[in-house]
Amino acid sequence: MAESSDQHPVIDSVDFRRVLGVFPTGVTVITSAGIPGADRPVGVAIGSFTSISLDPPLVGFFLGTSSGSWAGIESSGHFCVNVLCHDQLELCGLMASKADDKFTGIEYETTSTTGAPILPDVHAVIDCRIDGVVELGDHNLIVGRVQSLETRREEPPMLFYKGHYGSFAG
């Protein structure tokens, strides 16, 4: 491993992704009502969702600083975590895309607290108000204060492992 001029190790990005890829993560879609007045919700697939605190109830996710979805999430001041089930790969692909309107043809409901979209047939939903944002390298950590949460469907969750989507074999 080489050292950079400021004494931080130089890590190859391909190696970084390969090694970190052996840690399985759950797959979520973060949704928001979007920019006020734009009348278009926002959705983005995320594999970096985590619980942070029980008291107060905080969760978080990481989003690239160049993400086009951030403006809509930030300006709305809220987001909903939609935990995907193992059979929602098509929905995941749509929300991971760069499509202008990712909600075309999707019948969704909205949360009673923030108005963020709840996607159909998801495993669970966690509705949040943005509590803080921390810039870390090429990503932001978006922290949400949980407003409401519920389990909606008893199916195995979608997992991401070594570059592939799958489910929990238990």
For the chain, what percent of residues have pLDDT higher than 70?
95
Q: How far is residue 54's CA from residue 38's CA, in Å, rounded to a whole number?
A: 34
- Minimal CA–CA distance to 80: which of 26, 117, 124? 117
pLDDT band at 170 (very low <50, low <70, confident <90, very high): low
Model pLDDT, residue 164:
86
Mean pLDDT of 48-75: 95
CATH of 25-49+68-131+149-159, one of 2.30.110.10, 2.40.50.1070, 3.30.70.20, 1.10.10.60: 2.30.110.10
Give pLDDT, residue 147: 98
Of the candidate ranges 35-39, 63-67, 154-158, the one whose mean pLDDT is the lowest: 35-39
Give the model confidence (pLDDT) of 98-143 as tens digits. Answer: 888 899 999 999 999 999 999 999 999 999 999 999 999 999 999 9
| Of 11-20, 72-81, 101-110, 134-143, minimum mean pLDDT range | 11-20
Round to whole Å and give the CA distance between 146 and 126.
Answer: 7
Predicted confidence band of residue 6 (pLDDT cuts 50, 70, 90):
low
Burial of 84 (0-12, 13-18, 19+ CB in 10 A): buried
Give the Cα separation of 13 and 119 in Å (integer): 33
For residue 57 the two structure tokens come to 């109830």
What does the mean pLDDT of the chain come to? 91
The pLDDT of residue 22 is 83
